[in-house]
């Protein structure tokens, strides 16, 4: 059994003059031509653990996307139930105090009647430390909040959204726990030795890359991610564009995320990024350059089954 690159099959259809026609029969003809020309790589048995990591990583990504959409919905309902809360506490859902206020005091009249001192004591009973200036801002916002016509139904929907958000948090935590137990048994185990590369980042990379034995080198991986710059030359004139954006979206995001992890945590990568910034490169170019660096490091560590050595990559 052979495995073919879908982009190669699409290009073969274009060569046959059928770029905009895609049927099973035409795809089969294109695949046949590629196989007869010697293209395709043999399909090998991959480790079961890689498939499990891919499944859990994709599951977590879907739940994170759903949680983000739920938070946006929840903030809309919160503005209807408690107008002005986001002015007193800008990042409501990212803090434990904000979650507490959204769950227990969606009705601002309850919070206004509670007062500053009792609000601080109420938070203490939930093992939360609430600073007095924050408590004063919250109580003042509750007293200034104007009643709205849709406040009652907004609070009902808000309660349902908070229950869904808690369930999503539990599912995401379960997925991260499963990834943490699977990753040490995979070929990607040593990648967590790199500063800034924890279980989630490495798992997303492993899920996007699949079996590392499929890839002959880091250049092929970088090309498959679609981060290689486009080049066009005709009659000795070159018109180079930006990033091609072709290839695997999941792999591209994983490499950029690994690059950002290096940028924020690894000293040599920080120096490299600052050098690019000083040369006038904008953030997108710096992120792609760090993704290229992360790609080479990740491939070498997986290939050699080695841990990260800062002196080697300085």
Domain hosting residue 196, numbered range:
188-314
Better-scored residue on pLDDT, 290 or 239: 290
Q: Are residues 111 and 233 both part of a single domain? A: no
What global pTM score does this model have? 0.78
Enter the tokens of residue 186. Answer: 């995979």
Query: Average pLDDT in the 190-205 region?
Result: 95
Does 239 score more than 70 pLDDT?
no
The alpha carbon dihedral of 86, 92, 96, 100 has a sign of: positive
Q: Is the pLDDT reported for residue 45 higher than 60?
A: no
Cα separation, 192 vs 182, whole angstroms: 13
Q: Which CB contacts under 8 angstroms, 24+ apart, belong to 247-251?
A: 247/7, 247/223, 248/208, 248/224, 250/204, 250/207, 250/208, 251/208, 251/209, 251/221, 251/224, 251/225, 251/226
Residue 16 banded pLDDT, cuts 50, 70, 90 = confident
Instruction: For residues 147 and 82, state if they share a domain.
Output: yes
- Classify residue 57 as exposed, middle or buried by CB count within 10 Å of its CB (0-12, 13-18, 19+): buried
Are 30 and 62 members of one domain?
Answer: no
Domain tally, the chain: 3
The residues that bridge with 229 in the sheet, in sequence order, are 243
Contact 268, 275 (CB under 8 A): no
Are 192 and 177 contained in the same domain?
Answer: no
Mean pLDDT of 133-154: 88
Mean pLDDT is lowest, of 38-42, 159-163, 254-258, for 38-42
The residue from 124, 147, 182 where one domain ends is 182
Three-class DSSP category at 238: strand
Collapse the DSSP code of 279 into the 3-class scheme (helix H, G, I; strand E, B; otherwise coil) and give the result. Answer: coil
> In this structure, is residue 49 part of a structural domain?
no
In a domain, 48, yes or no: no
192 and 314 in a single domain? The answer is yes
Domain co-membership, 120 together with 149? yes
Instruction: Determine which helix (DSSP H) or strand (DSSP E) holds 237, and give its type and residue range.
Output: strand 237-238
pLDDT reading at 35 higher than 80: yes
Q: Is the pLDDT of residue 62 over 70?
A: yes
Those residues with Cβ within 8 angstroms of residue 242's Cβ, 6 or more apart along the chain or in another chain? 229, 230
> What pLDDT, on a 0 to 100 scale, did the predictor assign at position 165?
92
Out of 182, 204, 237, a domain closes at 182
Distance (Å, whole) CA 157 – CA 302 = 48
Answer yes or no: is 51 within a domain.
Answer: no
Model confidence band, residue 244 (pLDDT cutoffs 50, 70, 90): low
- Domain for residue 135, yes or no? yes
Same domain membership, residue 240 and residue 304: yes
What's the chain's average pLDDT?
88
């Amino acid at each position: 059994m052979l495995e073919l690159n879908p982009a190669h099959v699409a290009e073969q259809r274009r060569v046959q003059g059928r770029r905009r026609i895609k049927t099973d029969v035409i795809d089969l003809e294109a695949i046949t031509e590629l196989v007869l020309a010697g293209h395709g790589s043999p399909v090998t048995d991959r480790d079961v653990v890689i498939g499990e990591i891919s499944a859990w990583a994709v599951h977590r990504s879907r739940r994170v996307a759903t949680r983000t959409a739920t938070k946006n919905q929840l903030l809309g309902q919160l503005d209807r139930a408690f107008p002005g809360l986001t002015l007193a506490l800008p990042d409501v859902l990212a803090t434990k105090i904000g979650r507490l206020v959204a769950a227990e005091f969606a009705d601002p009249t309850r919070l206004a009647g509670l007062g500053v001192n009792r609000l601080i004591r109420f938070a203490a009973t939930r093992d939360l430390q609430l600073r007095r200036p924050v408590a004063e801002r919250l109580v003042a916002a509750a007293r200034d909040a104007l009643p709205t016509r849709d406040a009652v139904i907004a609070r009902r929907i808000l309660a349902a959204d908070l229950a869904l958000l808690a369930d999503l948090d539990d599912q995401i935590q379960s997925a991260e726990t499963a990834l943490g137990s699977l990753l040490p048994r995979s070929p990607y185990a040593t990648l967590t030795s790199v500063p800034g590369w924890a279980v989630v980042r490495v798992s997303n990379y492993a899920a996007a890359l699949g079996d590392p034995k499929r890839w002959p080198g880091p250049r092929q991986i970088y090309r498959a991610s679609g981060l290689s710059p486009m080049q066009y030359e005709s009659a000795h004139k070159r018109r180079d564009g930006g990033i091609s954006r072709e290839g695997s979206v999941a792999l591209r995001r994983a490499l950029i995320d690994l690059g950002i992890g290096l940028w924020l945590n690894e000293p040599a990568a920080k120096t490299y990024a600052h050098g690019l910034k000083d040369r006038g490169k904008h953030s997108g170019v710096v992120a792609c350059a760090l993704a290229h660096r992360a790609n080479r490091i990740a491939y070498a560590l997986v290939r050699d089954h080695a841990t990260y050595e800062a002196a080697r990559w300085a």
